[in-house]
Amino acid sequence: MNVAEVLRAVATMSWLLALAVIVIAVVRATRGAAGMRGTGGLVLGAIALAVVLTTVSAGLVFVQPEDRGVVISAVAPDGYRTEPLGPGLHWVIPFAENVVMYPISRQTYTMSIAPSEGAISGDDSVSARTADGQEVFIDASVIFAIDPAQVVNVHIRWQGRYIDELVRAQSRGIIRDSASQYGVEQIVTSQRDAFKDAIQQEMAAKLTDNGLELIDFVVRNITFSDEYAASVEQKQIAEQLAQQAAFTVEQRKQEAEQARQTAQGQADAAVIAARGRAQARVIEAEADAEALRLIAEVLSQNPELITYQYVQKLAPGIQVMLVPNDNPFLLPLPGLTPGSGAVP
């Protein structure tokens, strides 16, 4: 509680005291003139004290640090003082001047589709049309403050209507104008920051021209009409299905590629095995040829060796043989019985 308010409370109590004194004086007056003589001076003193205190309290004004005071004056040429009152205790002419307080701290005006969030109860979102004709509903907050140096001008132009008739009206109009410059998908995705910046720049210029400062502009939410929201949902479903189909195709391609690589590997393995078998046969044939060459070389040097090999290969049951003296080969005689002697 500041000094001015305390003084006003004291002035009010002094009037109550004066009223009580008057009542006492009236009661005593009913008892005779002698009773009035003792209370007359008391009544006048109480009334005089109440008048003085009321006059002084009417002239003292205390301004809070977050406020500025505009002095409306009956004695000033323009009807007001040109300079606002700053923080602290001030003196104005009692009953000829009064002070209107304006806050210079930050204020927030919110427009929301939610009934309990906005400055106005109910749906207070901004309905706008985009460049492609779609209806959108925009929730926004305007954070602003009165310029301390422009408090008097704000009072002259707007008085206490600056929130409804300046901040609200200008922000809704600027939002609608800016939305008409963008497509609905741009506002929601790629151009949302540009959309917000365009609104903020124009809002700042409008408020500055009227003695206010724009601190920030916040796009809280953007919603669509039911029809467009349904079409967006269908589009998202179609895109998801297309992505699923593309994934399936890619999966089939990978499976086909895997099968091709497997078949290629099997074919390569078969080729390698065939080459190995062919090389083995070549090596085997070369070995047989070399063996025959060596045998031929040995036989050419030892002709009797073949006769020896022939004898070694004969059946063990043959005991009699005819050996012609002019034949280099030994021939079995199957007609001879075992035990017969050889014919010389």
Tens digits of per-residue pLDDT, 273-313? 888 888 888 888 888 888 778 777 777 877 777 776 666 66
Q: CA-to-CA distance for 324 and 266, rounded, in angstroms?
A: 65
pLDDT at 231: 63
More confident residue, 144 or 322: 144
Whether 137 and 80 map to the same domain: the answer is no
Look at residues 69, 87, 102 and tell me which one is the last residue of a structural domain.
102
Q: CA-to-CA distance for 260 and 258, rounded, in angstroms?
A: 5
Whether 165 and 139 map to the same domain: the answer is yes
Q: CA-to-CA distance for 27 and 31, rounded, in angstroms?
A: 7
More confident residue, 28 or 177: 177
Whether 144 and 182 map to the same domain: the answer is yes
Tokens of 279: 């090389």
Look at residues 41, 68, 102 and tell me which one is the last residue of a structural domain.
102
Using DSSP bridges, classify how beta strands 126-129 and 135-146 pair: parallel, antiparallel or unpaired. Answer: antiparallel
Q: Any idea what the Cα angle at residue 253 is, between residues 249 and 257, rounded to 5°?
A: 170
Whether 47 and 127 map to the same domain: the answer is no
Report the Cα 301 to chain-centroid distance in Å. 101
Nearest CA to 320 among 307, 338, 294, 295? 338
Whether 68 and 111 map to the same domain: the answer is no
Residue 229 lies in a domain: no
Using DSSP bridges, classify how beta strands 60-63 and 88-91 pair: parallel, antiparallel or unpaired. Answer: antiparallel
Furthest-apart CA pair in the chain: how many Å?
206
pLDDT at 46: 77
More confident residue, 246 or 38: 246
Whether 197 and 119 map to the same domain: the answer is yes
Q: Any idea what the Cα angle at residue 147 is, between residues 142 and 148, rounded to 5°?
A: 140
Whether 13 and 114 map to the same domain: the answer is no
Q: CA-to-CA distance for 162 and 212, rounded, in angstroms?
A: 9
| Full domain range(s) for residue 202 | 107-224
Residue 83 lies in a domain: yes
Total of domains in the chain: 2
Residue 209 lies in a domain: yes
Residue 243 lies in a domain: no
322 pLDDT above the threshold of 60? no
Residue 286 lies in a domain: no
Whether 136 and 78 map to the same domain: the answer is no
Task: Compute the half-sphere exposure of residue 11: CA atoms within 13 Å on the CB side of its CA.
Answer: 16
Residue 181 lies in a domain: yes
Lowest mean pLDDT among 168-177, 180-189, 238-247: 238-247
- Give the pLDDT band of residue 229 (cuts 50, 70, 90): low
Whether 112 and 205 map to the same domain: the answer is yes
pLDDT at 67: 94
- Give the pLDDT band of residue 269 (cuts 50, 70, 90): confident
Number of H helices, E strands in the chain: 8, 10
